[in-house]
Structure 1
Amino acid sequence: MPIREVDMARKRIGILTGGGDVAGLNAVIKSVTYRGSEDDIEVVGLRRGWEALTHLNLDDPNSRSHYVIPLNRENTRTIDRRGGTVLHSSRVNPSKIQKLPGHLVGNEVPVSLSTNGGIATKTWDLTSRVLANLSGLGIEHLIAIGGDDTLSYAAKLNELGVKIIAIPKTMDNDVRNTEYCIGFSTAITRASDAIQRQRTTVGSHERIGIFRVFGRDAGFTALYTAYATSIRCLIPEHKVDLDKLIQLLIEDKRANPSNYALIVLSEGAQWEGYKLREYGEPDAYGHRKKANVAESLADEIKQRTGEETITSDLTYDLRSGDPDFIDKLVALTFGNMAYDAMLESKTGLMSALVEGRYDLVPIPDAKLGPRKLDVASSYNTERYRPIYANKQGLPIFLNRAS
């Protein structure tokens, strides 16, 4: 069913998912759609994240069908039963488009030049197109689901007068102003299950098992996986002493009747004297891929001790598959909170957990960067393990919004 011309008598809202997918996104989409159907409010799905609003050509029916989908009870009835996002996603930054859509070539669009390594790069700011497409679609309120990058642009739109509500999602759990982001629990469940399964293989071969998980700037995923599996971990917030770390792993291995040891690393983890290498072109938000720190640690262990290792990259597996109970519960609740906020014409707010309670908070200030672990209260810098003591009085996820 095509999107009708703007009908001022009926409210219309938009919803999009940006950045990497996680389990639980479809539950948000369904909850907003069902609530809308009860209030005779049209819900428009914007496909492929911010790209829907930068690349959409309102005069082209093929472009409309590619980027816009009317949502209803029929086409969302079962979507919450699976992971991913039925709206698809992208990492497009509307303020820094690296290639103009064909229908905009030749138009006057704000352009910027930057130089990196002697190479000049041209980017375009399509914010004016975003505003025009929102207006052309008749979208009065927007719900944006994403992590730091997606929500940084949501904050910009709010400043420009767009009514917008944000919902945090990332298995890194590093969005500011909330203690929990959709996708985190499922990621920890996946990581814990994978590590428990691989104990049999690592133990059979009497090796040191090294697991790498996502966490460019924050170590929540590695720390909580270690917490649940009782193994050591490395996080980006603290550089460890490599000699001491290897000695601890060797001691773990010797003390284990099956003669093996395990450790989980954030992708951004480092040790003293080690510089994390990056490769490839930066994405729309300036991030480059990080070299596999697990492989680097495996090489160091082999060179220094002769011990054999098994490395496993768990990163993308943690975001795949169906959501667990926690992520479905939080996703449904965050979605309904966002919808309620929209009904009250609120803007610039984000669904959140604060002190273990559901709340609406300001969309985070992108200039502050991602939220980090409080090392002093959560990470034992002598044993390279989570701190298990002194948790009384903490919210359910053992951390506070910052």
Structure 2
Amino acid sequence: MKRIGVLTSGGDSPGMNAAIRAVVRKAIYHDLEVYGVQYGFAGLIEGDIKKMELGDVGDIIHRGGTKLYTARCEEFRTPEGRQKAVDQLNARGIEALVVIGGDGSFRGAEKLTELGYPTIGVPGTIDNDIPGTDYTIGFDTALNTVIDAIDKIRDTATSHERTYVIEVMGRDAGDLALWSGLADGAETILIPEEEYDMDQVVSRLRRGHARGKKHSIIIIAEGVGSGTEFGQKIQETTNLETRVTVLGHIQRGGSPTGFDRVLASRLGARAVELLLNGKEGRMVGIEKNEIVDNPIPEVLKQKHQVDSGMYKLSQELSI
């Protein structure tokens, strides 16, 4: 193997740049040429591909977002689009591809492997919703961003004696809501993996108010529903002054934490090692602080599981 490519796809996450840096530098260390694909699979189809040198990844390990940019691509979902992508790679003699992203990105990588083109997946998403790894690149940074925001909102909630509903990202996964809610002592945490009883939520708020509690924090994952609508129901039911904050895309940005920088560096380097060892169609991850790899088709068949013990603990501590 002489040439490999690397791309980022789907939603950006803090630490993607650290992963790109690791792929490029690990590959060059082993005398490989590295080509960066701009704008994900869309750029792959269009041939927006450039050779990368050591200096191209200098001074990016601490930056959020992705140097290679990212985009959605409907054309890649078609057989014709995927063949165009393979043709672009073959025309440049690029023999394998590292794909950094979430489950949608891995489905694209799986399709390329089915066409006989070697790929390795690196999990990068703030949702932490990829099976086969304890943590995805960007989750820790997003978690700390959410915690910082909740801390600030709590100051205002206390000053005005209000109930605050805070909507966080996570799509169909509740990790961001659960971890931030537990870390910040939220009275109620609503996640898509667990059903909730509105009567119990209201009862908990009223109990707190009755014992003199001046404010309450409710964390709701976007996969559960609209935080704005939920906040309106709370105010109508309890008559407690309620405000809603939707944190939105602020959760995706920012300088990655030390944990995410190290995780991204380890996973990016292992991806190159797998390709050098003739492996393909696999995703790298971390389990019990050990770097592992699993077949992408196997990863995609599994369903993300939230930590039910942690959810139970959050309920026990919010009495």
TM-score band, normalised by the shorter chain?
over 0.9
1:349 maps to what in 2?
A: 282
AA partner of residue 195 (structure 1):
I
* Separation in 2, partners of 1:386, 1:26: 37
Report how far residue 43 of structure 1 moved: 0.7
Q: Are the counterparts in 2 of residues 47 and 68 from structure 1 also a CA contact under 8 Å?
A: yes
AA partner of residue 173 (structure 1):
N
Identity %: 33
* Separation in 2, partners of 1:316, 1:387: 31
1:235 maps to what in 2?
A: 191
* Separation in 2, partners of 1:348, 1:256: 57
1:26 maps to what in 2?
A: 17
Partner secondary structure for residue 71 of structure 2 = coil
Report how far residue 369 of structure 1 moved: 6.2
Is 1:294 the counterpart of 2:275? The answer is no
Report how far residue 198 of structure 1 moved: 1.3
1:55 maps to what in 2?
A: 46
Residue 334 of structure 1: which of 248, 256, 267 is its match? Answer: 267
Report how far residue 356 of structure 1 moved: 3.4
Partner secondary structure for residue 52 of structure 1 = helix
Q: 1:89-114 CA distances to partner (integer Å, 9 max, x unpaired)?
A: 012244436xxxxxxxxxxxx6xxxx
Q: Are the counterparts in 1 of residues 202 and 234 from structure 2 also a CA contact under 8 Å?
A: yes
Is 1:11 the counterpart of 2:2? The answer is yes
1:89 maps to what in 2?
A: 70
2:240 maps to what in 1?
A: 307
Report how far residue 225 of structure 1 moved: 0.7
* Separation in 2, partners of 1:144, 1:68: 14
Report how far residue 38 of structure 1 moved: 2.2
2:49 maps to what in 1?
A: 68
Q: TM-score normalized by structure 2?
A: 0.93
Q: Are the counterparts in 1 of residues 166 and 247 from structure 2 also a CA contact under 8 Å?
A: yes
2:31 maps to what in 1?
A: 40
Length, aligned pairs only: 316
Report how far residue 151 of structure 1 moved: 0.6
1:216 maps to what in 2?
A: 171
Report how far residue 249 of structure 1 moved: 2.3
Q: Are the counterparts in 1 of residues 131 and 299 from structure 2 also a CA contact under 8 Å?
A: no
Q: Are the counterparts in 2 of residues 217 and 370 from structure 1 also a CA contact under 8 Å?
A: no
Q: Which moved more, 1:198-207 or 1:248-257?
A: 248-257
CA-based RMSD of the aligned residues comes to 1.9
* Separation in 1, partners of 2:116, 2:258: 36
Q: Are the counterparts in 2 of residues 152 and 365 from structure 1 also a CA contact under 8 Å?
A: no
* Separation in 1, partners of 2:171, 2:316: 21
Is 1:169 the counterpart of 2:160? The answer is no
Q: Which has the higher helix share?
A: 2
Partner secondary structure for residue 12 of structure 2 = coil
Q: Residues 14 and 387 from structure 1, CA distance in 2 versus in 1: closer, same or farther, beyond 3 angstroms?
A: farther
Q: 1:68-125 CA distances to partner (integer Å, 9 max, x unpaired)?
A: 222111121101121100000012244436xxxxxxxxxxxx6xxxxxxxxxxxxxx4
* Separation in 2, partners of 1:338, 1:237: 31
Report how far residue 224 of structure 1 moved: 0.7
Q: Are the counterparts in 1 of residues 130 and 299 from structure 2 also a CA contact under 8 Å?
A: no
Higher relative contact order (CA 8 A, sep 6+): 2
* Separation in 1, partners of 2:133, 2:209: 38
Q: Residues 93 and 387 from structure 1, CA distance in 2 versus in 1: closer, same or farther, beyond 3 angstroms?
A: farther
* Separation in 1, partners of 2:28, 2:60: 16
Residue 149 of structure 2: which of 187, 190, 194 is its match? Answer: 194
Q: Are the counterparts in 2 of residues 214 and 221 from structure 1 also a CA contact under 8 Å?
A: yes
Q: Residues 256 and 200 from structure 1, CA distance in 2 versus in 1: closer, same or farther, beyond 3 angstroms?
A: farther
AA partner of residue 71 (structure 1):
M
* Separation in 1, partners of 2:289, 2:113: 27
Q: Which moved more, 1:355-364 or 1:301-310?
A: 355-364
Q: Are the counterparts in 2 of residues 14 and 139 from structure 1 also a CA contact under 8 Å?
A: yes
Point out where structure 1 has 5 or more consecutive residues left out of the alignment. 1-9, 57-66, 98-109, 111-124, 270-275, 277-292, 389-402
Report how far residue 36 of structure 1 moved: 2.4
